[in-house]
């Protein structure tokens, strides 16, 4: 496993996959793994250790790759920065987007092969992931659309159920793509979309940026890559897609049409219910010669990190605007990379952590629990955070509870989801959630030694190699006989 950090970001999926393969981080899976459950099961078992490459999954001629973004250190390496600089580098890119550069017609790799009138189910090796999933799902599809009002593009990843050769259903949570679709539907129009599968690592990461509407996330991809992202114009719409993507599905989200979608195993490790959802009609598929299909195993590290790192960068910037003493944040993996936020603060005033807690709840509705710790606690280590709660927190004094706020509709403990079936509850009543904040900081001033963390002088500096005798054996019988 490599620990060196390249100075330049990876701009290309295949170069990144080659890098993983060359450093023992890519497991090549022998033929025979079925698309139904087996591909996901193998990729899940390798999660966070090795990416998985299936040459002919289910006998399909198109290979599948999964898990190439499944460690924080790998993502930093793809960005060309040290892990400690990950959030700052992401934030710099999000604040300085680079306009894309259109490649001349006919030159985009993603359009080397064109399928008119395609059968998606036959053409693409789409896996079925979890036990109760309603069939095959595209889980790593970046959906690109234009705002019907302003024409500005948007990028998000949305789960897509493939239930016929030319028909798919999509989950649109209430963000930008949903807003575009509602506007198109109001006008009696379909919304053109492009679904990009097999994007490079940094474009995938850019798709998860938390930006105001009318900021094209492809421009953040360019900033992350350090060059304008080369894009190609779609063949059936004016949408621009990353020119080097492996596969592009062109289609339309149909106005006034809903079809059953789900159940589907989601990131909180529970299923979302079968409901009537928006429908995509497929018009055309283009791909590279010999394309690679990317699948993300739901709720595993690739899924959690892709969402959590851009969120952390945004949350850190948001908190630092009001609290310069905030030095780091982490969305814990146990909190599914979305719900539990740890904040490191150099506290200057009593009460300040409670202000930080309130500020964090305002930053994203998914956040359900905030723990604020002091500077001597590493927020990326859940054991240290628990230690701070165990030794610096008193529930009657340091706990903030807010009831009846907006939370995540995918959290099954929210009041509505736990009661009636989700499909019988109107969307605006779903996901009502309590918020909990824990101030696990010590007092600003305290009597000497009361809150001083125990350390042994010199422990960090000891060079164990120089102290341990490598060749010396010990006979403990001989020792005890003496």
Ligand X SMILES: Cc1cc2nc3c(=O)[nH]c(=O)nc-3n(C[C@H](O)[C@H](O)[C@H](O)COP(=O)(O)O)c2cc1C
User: What residue ranges bind Mn ion (CB under 5 A)?
Assistant: 154, 176
Q: Which does 171 bind (CB under 5 to 8 A by kind): Mn ion, ligand X, none?
A: ligand X
Q: Is 27 in the site for ligand X (CB under 6 A)?
A: no
Q: Which is nearer to ligand X, 242 or 307 (CB)?
A: 307
Distance CA 94, CA 59 (A): 41
Q: State the minimum distance, in angstroms, from the CB of residue 424 to ligand X.
A: 21
Is there binding between residue 154 and ligand X (CB under 6 A)? yes
In whole angstroms, the minimum distance from the beta carbon of 218 to ligand X comes to: 11
One residue of 88, 96, 152, 173 binding ligand X per CB under 6 A: 173
The verdict on 176 binding ligand X (CB under 6 A) reads yes
Q: Are 162 and 154 in contact (CB under 8 A)?
A: no
Task: Choose from Mn ion, ligand X, none: what does 332 bind? Cβ within 5-8 Å by kind.
Answer: none
Size, binding site for ligand X by CB under 6 A: 17
Residue 300 beta carbon to ligand X: minimum distance, rounded to whole angstroms: 10
Compute the least distance from the CB of residue 34 to ligand X, in Å: 22
Candidate list 177, 197, 280, 343; residue touching ligand X; CB under 6 A: 177
**Choices 153-161, 233-241, 383-391, 435-443 (CB under 6 A): range interacting with ligand X:** 153-161
Does 427 help bind ligand X (rule: CB under 6 A)? no
H/E run at residue 122: helix 120-123
What distance lies between CA 312 and its chain's CA centroid?
11
Burial class (CB in 10 A: 0-12, 13-18, 19+), 298: buried
Q: Which of residues 116-145 bind ligand X (CB under 6 A)?
A: 139
- Closest to 53 measured CA to CA, from 22, 23, 75, 21: 21
CB of 315 to Mn ion, least distance (A): 17
Closest CA to 385 of 397, 399, 373: 373
CA atoms 20, 264, 45, 58: torsion sign: negative
The yes or no reply on residue 286 touching ligand X (CB under 6 A) is: no
Q: Which is nearer to ligand X, 212 or 457 (CB)?
A: 212
Q: Name the segment binding ligand X (CB under 6 A); options: 56-64, 169-177, 231-239, 419-427.
A: 169-177
Closer CB to ligand X, residue 110 or residue 305?
Answer: 305
Closer residue to Mn ion, CB minimum distance, 220 or 373 = 220
For residues 196 and 242, is the Cβ–Cβ distance under 8 A? yes
Instruction: Give the C-alpha separation, 384 to 376, whole Å.
Output: 9
Bond into 263 cis (ω within 30): yes
What 3 state SS string does 26-59 have?
EEEECCCCCCECHHHHHHHHCCCCCEEEECCHHH
CA gap 275, 467 in Å, rounded? 64
DSSP 389: H
Is residue 260 within 8 Å of residue 246, measured between CB atoms? no
Q: How far is the CB of 458 from ligand X (least distance, A)?
A: 44
Rounded least distance, CB 405 to Mn ion, Å: 23
From Mn ion, ligand X, none, interface partner of 369 (C-beta below 5 to 8 A by class): none
* Contact positions vs ligand X (CB under 6 A): 139, 154, 156-159, 171-173, 175-177, 208, 296, 303, 306-307
């Amino acid at each position: 496993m490599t620990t060196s950090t390249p100075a330049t970001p990876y701009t290309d999926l295949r170069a990144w996959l080659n890098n993983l393969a060359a450093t023992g981080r890519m497991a090549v899976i022998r033929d025979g793994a079925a698309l139904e459950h087996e591909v996901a099961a193998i990729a899940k078992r390798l999660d966070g250790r090795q990416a998985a490459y299936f040459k002919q999954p289910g006998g399909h001629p198109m290979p599948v790759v999964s898990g190439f973004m499944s460690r924080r250190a790998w993502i930093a390496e793809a960005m060309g920065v040290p892990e400690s600089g990950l959030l700052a580098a992401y934030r710099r890119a999000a604040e300085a987007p680079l306009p894309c550069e259109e490649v001349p017609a006919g030159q985009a790799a993603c359009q080397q092969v064109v399928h008119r009138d395609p059968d998606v189910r036959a053409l693409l090796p789409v896996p079925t992931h979890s036990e109760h999933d309603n069939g095959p799902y595209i889980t790593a599809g970046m959906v690109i659309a234009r705002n019907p009002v302003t024409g500005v593009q948007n990028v998000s990843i949305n789960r897509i159920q493939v239930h016929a050769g030319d028909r798919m259903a999509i989950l649109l949570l209430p963000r930008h793509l949903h807003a575009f679709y509602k506007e198109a539907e109001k006008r009696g129009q379909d919304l053109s979309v492009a679904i990009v599968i097999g994007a490079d690592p940094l474009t995938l990461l850019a798709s998860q940026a938390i930006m105001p509407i009318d900021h094209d996330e492809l421009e953040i991809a360019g900033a992350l890559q350090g060059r304008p992202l080369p894009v190609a114009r779609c063949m059936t719409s004016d949408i621009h897609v990353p020119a080097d993507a492996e596969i592009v599905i062109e289609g339309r989200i149909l106005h006034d049409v809903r079809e059953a979608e789900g159940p589907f195993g989601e990131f909180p490790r529970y299923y979302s219910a079968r409901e009537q959802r928006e429908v995509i009609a497929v018009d055309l598929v283009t791909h590279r010669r010999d394309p690679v299909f990317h699948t993300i195993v739901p709720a595993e590290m690739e899924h959690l990190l892709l969402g959590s790192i851009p969120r952390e960068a945004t949350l850190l910037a948001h908190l630092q605007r009001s609290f310069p003493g905030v030095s780091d944040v982490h969305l814990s993996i146990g909190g599914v990379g979305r719900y539990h936020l740890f904040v490191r603060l150099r506290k200057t005033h009593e009460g300040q952590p409670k202000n930080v807690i309130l500020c964090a709840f305002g930053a994203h509705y998914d956040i359900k629990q905030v723990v604020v710790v002091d500077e001597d606690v590493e927020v990326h280590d859940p054991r240290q955070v628990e230690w701070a709660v165990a030794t610096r927190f008193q529930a009657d004094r340091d706990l903030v509870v807010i009831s009846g706020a907006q939370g995540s509709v995918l959290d099954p403990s929210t009041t509505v989801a736990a009661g009636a079936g989700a499909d019988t509850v109107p969307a605006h009543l779903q996901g009502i959630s309590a918020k909990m904040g824990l101030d696990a900081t010590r007092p600003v001033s305290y009597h000497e030694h009361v809150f001083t963390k125990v350390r042994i002088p010199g422990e960090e500096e000891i060079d164990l190699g120089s102290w341990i005798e490598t060749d010396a054996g010990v006979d403990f019988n001989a020792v005890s006989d003496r």
